[in-house]
């Protein structure tokens, strides 16, 4: 019988070498963050039908070889086995059952852009190395985009619309940003320029070809498939109906809280009016960037001084403006972790400070910063990347990941980092927003709500009609994921209420994070074992 560690090593090595771009990016949660991908960052994933069949078959064989844990192995071995099985089942579900490579045209835009991003992000590479890496990627892009059109089988209309928008963004990036970068750093290399021209033609052709891809009207995956995502990809036992019930109850409770707080501030106005009255005064993107940079310094000082978590050493995060080629892929604020295996690299907190809504972005600054950096994504990713256990180091869970980040925002109010009631209104609104996303996630994908109705619900939280439509469209393409924010934080708070009286808050947080991003029923087992050890 093969040892679990060897099976895990084979799994991570195989996927990291064959699907390096998807394994390197947190955009594709159904794959592990395999360290082996570091060696193949100039290779674009092979998504030919024959190779997909090989990938699925290989992972299925590994899955069947995983030994059942013995009772004497202890809880940590049980967790490793369960986590590895979940990761493999999630991969098989996405590539064999859901056939994401046939149904999601945005996949074929993201992969070449992420490959290009890996080259442009290398700050210590020589110009010759950058030139060689770009040249290799350029050679692969035309055939990859041609393959996309052959692979796609009746994707939803909305996914094709989004993919065309993203392809246009890619074209804009290659013409407006990449070309000046090449001229400034790499010179006028004729061979590279020829390949660059071929890449531009490929993107233009792909943009047009998407118009000819047959599509289906509905984007909804249905109750059974949504249940499959929760059960297999997220290892969460509740059904869509149960999640909807919990979310609707939480929405009503949070509405009551935000209404009561607004009444205490000014009984003559609604909470939305009060929030927009208290916006900070900022007039330029540069001011917004500076605001976030200073906020992150304060958050780091604050949480490193609090006795609620063992704060790691030698971590670092940079605050940068989102590059143009990533703006269609990332939210206003987003975090990019170092690649797994690159322990010397630092995290990047990206901000997109457009000319509009500067004051609104600034008003959310403390909570956005906590969500993405301290003690949110950056801290959590640092713990994962430096985990001594290779299985937990290379597998992350969006349910845990987004849940911890949302929970981190709430700590700002609990620990009195934020004291002003107007700012606390913003946090309650953010909670309301995350809960609504879970509600819409279930309703949209079980065909209980149209995109138009979803956009109206989003508008009720103060979004403009245009932004509400964009958000609803995004939710249509990410079934299951939008529930992770609320459900993840809900589970953390539930477990904290049960275990922190017996472990104290610091013991609870340390046990939670030290275990890796594991399913919450296994988190509960670890916490109970820690309580038992403490007597």
* More confident call, 270 vs 205: 205
**123, pLDDT greater than 70:** no
Q: Which of 253-262, 324-333, 387-396 has the lowest mean pLDDT?
A: 324-333
What's the pLDDT at 192? 93
State the virtual CA torsion across 7, 12, 13, 19 in degrees, nearest 10: 140
**Dihedral sign, CA of 157, 158, 160, 165?**
positive
* b/e 438-447 (16+ beta carbons within 10 angstroms → b): bbbbbbbbbe
**SS3 assignment, position 521:** helix
What value does the mean pLDDT take over residues 159-181?
92
Check residues 126 and 480 and name the one with the higher pLDDT: 480
Contact 90, 146 (CB under 8 A): no
Residue 1's pLDDT band (cuts 50, 70, 90)? very low
Entry pTM:
0.95
With a cut of 60, say whether residue 355 has pLDDT above it.
no
Crossing angle of helices 49-65 and 75-92, rounded to 10°: 160
Q: What pLDDT, on a 0 to 100 scale, did the predictor assign at position 353?
A: 84
Tell me what the mean pLDDT of segment 467-493 comes to: 96
Question: What pLDDT, on a 0 to 100 scale, did the predictor assign at position 281?
Answer: 82
Q: What is the pLDDT of residue 361?
A: 85
Cis check for the bond before 485: say yes or no (omega within 30 of 0): no
The dihedrals phi and psi of 299, each to the nearest 5 degrees, come to -65, -40
CA-derived radius of gyration, the chain = 23
Structural contact between residues 220 and 445, judged by C-beta atoms closer than 8 angstroms: yes
pLDDT number for residue 313: 85
Cα–Cα distance, 23 to 33 (Å, whole number)? 5
| DSSP string of 90-153, one letter each residue | HHHIIIIIS-HHHH-TTHHHHHHHHHHHHHHT-SS--HHHHHHHHHHHHHHHHHHHHHHHHH--
* 302 pLDDT above the threshold of 60: yes
Share of the chain above pLDDT 90, in %: 81
Round to whole Å and give the CA distance between 136 and 29. Answer: 26
Mean pLDDT of 264-275: 90
Structure-model confidence comparison of residues 326 and 27, the more confident one: 27
**pLDDT tens string 424-440:** 999 999 999 999 999 99
What average pLDDT does the segment 325-336 reach? Answer: 81
Mean pLDDT of 195-206: 97
Q: Give the CA distances from residue 205 to residues 3, 146, 168, 209, in Å, rounded to whole numbers and listed in that order.
A: 48, 9, 11, 6
| Sheet of 347-351, strands arranged across | 317-321, 347-351, 333-336
Residue 497, judged by CB atoms within 10 A of its CB (0-12, 13-18, 19+), counts as exposed
pLDDT score of 509 more than 50: yes
Residues near 137 by beta carbon (within 8 Å), at least 6 away in sequence: 42, 44, 112, 115, 116, 119
Question: Is pLDDT above 60 for 484?
Answer: yes
Q: Which of 513, 460, 485 is nearest to 255 (CA)?
A: 460
**Contact of 282 with 362, CB cutoff 8 Å:** yes
pLDDT value at position 534? 83
Q: What is the pLDDT of residue 223?
A: 97
Answer yes or no: is pLDDT of 356 > 80: no
Domain ranges of the chain: 4-98, 107-212, 221-277+397-535
């Amino acid at each position: 019988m093969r040892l679990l560690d060897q099976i895990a090593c084979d799994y991570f090595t195989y996927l990291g070498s064959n699907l390096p771009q998807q394994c390197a990016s947190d955009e594709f949660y159904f794959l592990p963050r395999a360290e082996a991908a570091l060696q193949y960052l100039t290779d674009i994933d092979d998504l030919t039908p024959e190779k997909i069949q090989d990938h699925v078959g290989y992972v299925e064989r590994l899955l069947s070889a995983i030994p059942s844990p013995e009772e004497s192995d202890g809880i940590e071995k049980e967790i490793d086995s369960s986590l590895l099985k979940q990761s493999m089942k999630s991969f098989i579900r996405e590539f064999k059952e859901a056939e994401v490579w046939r149904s999601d045209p945005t996949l074929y835009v993201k992969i070449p852009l992420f490959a290009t991003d890996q080259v442009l992000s290398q700050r210590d590479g020589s110009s010759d190395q950058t030139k060689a890496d770009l040249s290799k990627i350029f050679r692969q892009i035309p055939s990859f985009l041609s393959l996309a059109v052959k692979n796609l089988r009746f994707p939803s209309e909305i996914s094709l619309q989004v993919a065309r928008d993203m392809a246009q963004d890619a074209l804009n990036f290659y013409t407006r940003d990449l070309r000046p970068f090449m001229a400034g750093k790499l010179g006028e290399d004729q061979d590279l320029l020829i390949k660059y021209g071929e890449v531009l033609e490929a993107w233009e052709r792909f943009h047009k070809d998407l118009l000819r891809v047959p599509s289906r009207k509905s984007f909804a995956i249905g109750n059974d498939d949504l249940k499959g995502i929760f059960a297999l990809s997220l290892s969460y036992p509740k059904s869509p109906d149960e999640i909807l019930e919990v979310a609707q109850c939480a929405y009503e409770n949070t509405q009551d809280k935000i209404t009561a707080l607004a009444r205490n501030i000014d009984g003559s106005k609604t909470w939305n009016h009060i929030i927009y009255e208290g916006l900070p005064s900022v007039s330029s993107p540069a001011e917004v960037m500076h605001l976030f940079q200073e906020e992150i310094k304060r958050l780091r000082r604050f949480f490193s001084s609090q006795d609620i978590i063992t704060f790691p050493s030698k971590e670092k995060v940079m605050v940068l403006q989102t590059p143009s080629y990533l703006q269609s892929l990332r939210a206003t604020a987003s975090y990019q972790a170092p690649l797994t295996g690159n322990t010397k690299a630092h995290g990047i907190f990206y901000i997109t400070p457009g000319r509009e809504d500067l004051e609104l972005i600034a008003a959310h600054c403390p909570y956005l910063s906590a969500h993405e950096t301290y003690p949110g994504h950056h801290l959590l990713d640092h713990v994962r990347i430096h985990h001594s256990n290779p299985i937990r180091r290379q597998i992350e869970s969006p349910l845990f990941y987004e849940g911890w980040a949302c929970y981190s925002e709430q700590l700002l109010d609990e620990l009195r980092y934020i004291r002003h009631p107007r700012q606390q209104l913003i946090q309650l609104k953010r909670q309301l927003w995350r809960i609504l996303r879970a509600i819409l996630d279930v309703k949209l994908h079980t065909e209980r709500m149209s995109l138009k109705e979803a956009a109206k619900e989003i508008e009720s939280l103060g979004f403009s009609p245009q932004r509400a439509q964009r958000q609803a469209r995004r939710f249509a393409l990410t079934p299951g994921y939008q529930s992770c924010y609320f459900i993840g934080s809900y589970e953390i708070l539930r477990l904290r209420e049960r275990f922190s009286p017996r472990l104290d808050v610091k013991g609870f947080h340390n046990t939670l994070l030290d275990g890796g991003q594991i399913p919450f029923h296994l988190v509960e087992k670890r916490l109970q074992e820690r309580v038992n050890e403490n007597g």
